[in-house]
Amino acid sequence: MPPRKILRRTAPSTDMNWGGQLPVLLRRLYAARGVTSEDQLSYTLKHLASPLDLRGIERAVEIIAQAIASQQRVMILGDFDADGATSTAVAVLGLSMLGLESVDFRVPSRFADGYGLSPGIIERLKAEDNLPDLLITVDNGIAAIDGVRAAKDLGIRVLVTDHHLPGETLPDADAIVNPNQAGCPFLSKNAAGVGVMFYVLTAVRRHLRETGRMTQAQQPNLGVLLDLVALGTVADVVPLDHNNRIFVEQGLRRIRQGEARPGILALLEVAGRDHREISAADLGFAVGPRLNAAGRLDDMGVGIACLLADSPDEARRLAAELDSLNRERRHIETGMKAQAQELLASLSLDLEGLPWGLALYDPDWHQGVIGILAARLREQTNRPVIAFAPGEGGAELKGSARSIPGLHIRDVLAVVDARHPGLLKKYGGHAMAAGMTIAPERLDEFCQAFDIAVRNALCVEDLDAAVTTDGPLTVAELTLETAALLRRAGPWGQHFPEPLFDGEFEVLRQRIVGENHLKLVLKLNEAGDIIDGIAFNTGPEVPDFTRTGARLVYKPDANTFRGRTSLQLLIDYIEPA
């Protein structure tokens, strides 16, 4: 593990009355995450922001209500990641529940079509004689100026639902619902695409009820879709503000009760997770990657079919296919990472000599995996990283970027675009992740421009790798009960981070297991119990911590082995004490 500074969160002083039921440890953790009111810890649906605050929602509701009344043919245009897949599933299921009889979906091919609604998609639908009356984009569309124009030229109405940051020009859609568009007063700017679509459905249901077209008894319970909303929200790594935490917690409750979609339960099963005990992290690290594997390597239609499956047997079959794709993705990723390490070594630079903005390319890299590769290299170098792979036919390079805290990667790309017009063919994204397309012959020019833009946006201290903790746990707090308390206290996620702790431990024994993982037997101090710890993917060469002791950054976890459950520390970072 590369050296890191260990920083500690501090809870601001507050006179807040937490009440008598909340443990002291949780009070400290919540305060350090900006919680100032007990209402922020209430995850009932009544605390959700109102859909009526979304700009464009009234027009969107009118369009969908008209489609239902006249039973128009509606097509959902999704995206090839987990947010896009869950958004598509929520749209198909929700519109059917609201009375629409003809609703289908289409997902662009990452390789043949590229991202989002494009003129090529419309041309293909026309060739198939499959043009809808209404096309609804989910998790995309805010930048689809040409695609929307192509659809409208053929008489198709277009409703854009998206959450990505808009450019200066918006598509000429019949309605746009996006909390990040200018002039939108909606409070939760962090909603994922699936959250935006869920809000549209709730607004349609309200309209149908208030206009007398649906009685109170007839209106469907859209809450059954919250497991999908939770999955897409976590997998898209959007900030878990209060609104998103409500979505995630409500979805987790459904899953734990066994009331989730058969596809989600099947994906948990193939991942070896007990649905009764899952946390948000299980959605992010077990279910999300298996769902994403379809869009990365094959066709996200497989993932959406899994989410839509009503039969548990069919869901298990599709989940097994997704699990197989995920294993293939990991194999490809391992090879690409080895190539990237060789490429970094060929630069003959130490970490201080690397570009501040690191852009790498290999003609053999798989464009479906470059985002994961960029994330791995970012973790290793603590620099914003863009990994490029060849596009279809080799006429362009497709890049995927991952950023570091303090650097808004889409804004950096906007600076590059302004200073070098035409260098970026297309780009878009968020603060921490983005995608782009460039011409192969301009790669060197882009690498230099990207590095300069990053240097202008950061200072050298920003490149120091750091890990932020919640300080130490006492001997009395290092228990299974604490592990269980923290697991259920979330949902934890982006901008509401899962608690990490640090401390110095005596290391009684250590050994490498599975070639890459460091297994430790630890003791906090003379009064402490003996505790197991494990650090994953350290590699076989590690210091002898039994001589020096170890300073750990960790989280307590319950480990069950041969029917016995004991406390285990999951180690994020380790260095000699």
Whether residue 348 is predicted with pLDDT greater than 60 in this model: the reply is no
Entry pTM = 0.87
* DSSP code at position 11: P
Whether pLDDT at 515 is above 80: no
Cross-strand bridge partners of residue 402: 385, 433
Q: Do the Cβ atoms of 540 and 512 come closer than 8 Å? A: yes
Sorted by where each begins, the domain ranges of the chain are 5-38+468-576, 48-324, 347-463
- Taking the C-alpha atoms of residue 230 and residue 224, their distance in angstroms, rounded to an integer, is 11
454 vs 434: CA distance, rounded Å: 14
**What is the architecture, at CATH level 2, of domain 347-463?**
Roll (3.10)
Distance CA 357, CA 113 (A): 28
In tens, the pLDDT along 139-185 reads: 999 989 999 999 999 999 999 999 998 888 999 999 999 999 999 99
Query: What amino acid is encoded at 330 in this protein?
Result: R
Please name every residue paired with 57 in a beta bridge, in sequence order, or none if there are none.
Answer: none
| Chain mean pLDDT for the chain | 91
Q: How many CB atoms lie within 10 A of CB 464?
A: 10
Three-state SS for 267-335 is HHHHCCCCHHHCCHHHHHHHHHHHHHHHHHHCCHHHHHHHHHCCCHHHHHHHHHHHHHHHHHHHHHHHH
pLDDT digits (tens, 9 = 90+) for 516-570: 899 999 998 777 789 999 999 887 789 999 999 999 999 999 988 888 889 999 9
Q: Can you tell me the distance from the alpha carbon of 13 to that of 5, in angstroms, rounded to the nearest whole number?
A: 25
Place of tokens 């497709």: 398
Cis before 166? omega within 30:
no
Q: Per CATH, the architecture of 5-38+468-576 is what?
A: Beta Barrel (2.40)
5-38+468-576 and 48-324, same CATH topology: no
What is the predicted pLDDT for the residue at 102? Answer: 94
The confidence score (pLDDT) of residue 368 equals 83
Are the beta carbons of 75 and 104 closer than 8 angstroms? Answer: yes
Q: Residue 468: pLDDT above 80? A: yes
Which class in CATH covers the domain with range 48-324? alpha beta
> Model confidence at 333, in pLDDT bands (50, 70, 90)?
confident
